[in-house]
Each structure stands twice: as C-alpha cells, then as structure tokens.
Structure 1
C-alpha cells in the first residue's frame, strides 16, 4: 500500500508543478522534454546493476518500452491539443476516465475479482472523476470535428496503464523496474529532442533557463510516479483494477485539494460532490480487497 500512496503523491506533485508552469510562463514543451531526460537519468542512477546497452536491447520488454516512450510524448501533445480545442475539463475527463481500459483488461485477461462492492466503487469513481473535473462555467462540449483528440487521449492513456501492467507481469524482473522505466523515458526524450532540433532548424526555438529548471523539477517526481505505480502493481493482495481505480481517483482528489490550498481555486457544488464520491469510491474499492 505504501507504494500506491507514494505513486499518488508523486503524480499529484506533477499536477502542482504543471500549475506553476502557467504562473511563471514556462515553455511546457521544453520543460517536458527536459523532464523525460531527467526521469531517464533518475532510473539509470536507481538501477543497481551494471548497464550494458546490448543486454538491455535483448530484454523482452525493450521494444515495448520503446513504443511506450513514443506513446508517452504523443499523449502529452494530444492532451495539449484537446485542452486548446475542447477545454481543460475535457482533457482531464478523457485522461482519468481511461482507467476503465486497464480495469476491463485486468478483469477479462487476468480474471480479477468483480465483487459488488468493487464494481460499485469503480462506477462511483468514474462519476467522481467527471464531477470533480468540471470547473466553473465549463462543461464537456465536444464538436464532431475535434472529437478525435479526446478520444485518442482516452485510448492512449488507457494503453499506457494497461501496458505497464502487462510488461510488469510478464517481462520486467523486480530488479529491472528502474531501467525499464528509464528506457521508457529515454525514448520519449529522444522523440522530444528531435522535436527541439526541428524547432531549432525552423528558428522557433528559444531555450530559457527557467524551462530547464522546471523540467528538472518535473522529471524526478515523474520518474517516481511510474516506478512506485509499477511496484504497487506487484502487490500480491491488490489486483490491477483496484490499484488503477484508487491511484487515478486519489490523484484527482489530492491534486484538487492542493489546488484549493495552494492556488486558492474555487470549487462548485458539483466539484464538492465529486470529491465526496471520490472518497467513497476509494473506501469501497479498498474494502473490497
């Protein structure tokens, strides 16, 4: 359980840092790419074994990590597009509602438990995600032309969580979690660096020290959010559907409360109902273990 709590705290810290980006006019793309580099380095440092590139490339999880790295940065860009075209609430709902994908995968593929208490908790969690994500004056309004973007965010986010569970179960040894995570972030960083090179060639790149500092600050909790999540998925008394439900809803809950405490955000009655339901859903799923 401690790994799940640490994953929630690390992931919530990411949202707080993102909130600071807008306050200090940080170039999000540059910070994200630096973040992937730092997260990759963090995994390499945490890995206790000698690193041999040729051996890593022969691991069963290597090509999966490569694809995940590409999906990581692709989903981030899709989230940015969704936010611009459909609003922040749509992006938030699409991201968090994606927990339905790994839950279904866990139940169908791994025959995970589906008791009444747990199913009720999961359904309440989905309602809580929607209500908590709706900010003042916002609603989920999606035009047909822009429907593809939140849909891709939903699918991409779900694929990331599902893949982490799959590779953790079948390919990643306990001692390989740091290097597995580092490889994912490493490939995301490579794609990001190509993007920066393109912007440099086209003359649209202006690197600032604050973007690098922001990326470093983001990279460390980002690494640990994945590391602790994978460790939580290894818990013998909690199946993946339980882990993903508690993780996603708790992150939304903690980040929302952080917004109230540190950024003086105002919540509507609908938001408070969502928070109450979020707490209830976590309790129901937790007690179904």
Structure 2
C-alpha cells in the first residue's frame, strides 16, 4: 500500500529534515568561559635592595615602582607616627609599631614623596626621628590597590581570601565577581553599633576576625570587601571620607572594560549606584538608603588606601 501525503505536509517534512541536517553540521553552541578565580595574592616585601633612613627607622623603597614602600621602626617610643605626603597633595598619617616592616601604599601615584617618622616626646608632642624624600615612578597606577597594606591586610592563608574565591567561583566577568562579593558582605555582616561607640583612634581591621564574627563597622566592611576583590585581581580602593557629616569608609573598583568606578557599584539603567556596603547592610537596602547611597553629593572622599 502506498501512502500518499498531501504536498504541503511533504514540503514540511523536507524542511524539517533540512533543518536537522543543518543544525547537526553546526559546531556546538559557544559558552562564555568562567573566570579563573584562583586567588591572586599581591604580597609586599622588604627586599633590602634599596633602603633609606637611619638607626631609628628604615624605609625600604625597593618596590616603590609597584606602588608601595615598607617602614620599620627600631626605636623605643611607644607612640610613633608615620606621615607620607606626595608633593602638592594629601598627607597620609599612620601609626607605627616597633620591630617589624609594615607596608604602606603610595596612593597618590608617581611623584616625589616626603616620608617622615615621628616619635612621641610627651603628651601630644612628637619629634622627627627620620625624614626622607623619595622619588617614585609607578609602573602601573593600579598596583597600589592590589597589594596588601596596613589598612587592607591579608596573605595567602587568609580565610577571607579563600572565601572571596569561593564566592567568585563560576563568575563570567569582573562585574559578576563584584556583584557577588558585594551581596555576600551586605547579607552576612551586621553593623556593630557597640564597636562603633567604643572604637579607638588607630584601630585597624582584622579581616578574618570580622568574617568569623560577622559584624563590624564601616572600616571593617570596606576592608573585607577590598581583600576579596583585590585577591580576585580587581584593583580596589578602600576610601575614607565623609558621608554627610559622618566619618565613613567605602570602596571603589577598577573594571577592565570600564575603568575606575569611583565610589559606585552598578548601573541601574539610568545612573551608577554607589558601592557602600555598610549603609546598604545596616539600612537593609531600603529605598531611602539606596537613594542616599546613589547620590554622590552625600560623599566626600579624603583618602584612598
């Protein structure tokens, strides 16, 4: 028995057969490869190849072309201040401890820096223990914001570094990494109001302690986020300044296809929304908080670490 199909149906079967043949001949659909999220830990070192200073303080400038220097105080004073000033720019003031090298970023870029170490004499009086002028030519302006330093301190064994890699795993681009880490910090760290009331001058975040306790102040939020992003190869500034009248800390990131996204996080179709993990978390990302965060007039940056 011969089956006679209508001509229209025969044509449809022919077309379907042709499409099957064509799709079979095509290469597999391409997929966007996930980023390599293996931690990239930029560890500062005091190699001793180029050192200035005196018996009280040694300033290792071997790696200033990478955007940092290291200082070691060898004196006996209990209170020691370090000031780093690029000519014509902002002065950065730090506390120094005795006996070990500490890393400090050259945040203001290439130029001539004055590096002064001051010892406490009495009360609030300090005297100059060591002073040097250092000419700096940084090879890549982004590297100061990839290395560990006194304010954003981490190493290859930091749990915060490992957690950052875990959060970023499977991301297809840098913005996805930023998005995931931002969401994690906002969702998992609560603002510590008691700590904010009692924190003393010179406080420095311990990122692993913050990660474990799941609470902190603005400085802590920013340090954790900067640690995770830097070790994912994303240059990140920990910015200190004012949010309204309050002294505050937040972060800025550098995305390869975009450049510096200063103090801001994502594009909502109309404007960039500011990346401020503290306010977003403590305010539960309410509409009023997000509106405040998104208004650059509410923020005044003073320092970048």
TM-score computed with the length of structure 1 as normaliser: 0.25
Q: Which protein has the bigger helix share? A: 1
Higher strand share: 2
Computing the radius of gyration from Cα coordinates, the structure with the larger value is 2
Q: Which has the higher contact order (CA 8 A, sep 6+)?
A: 1
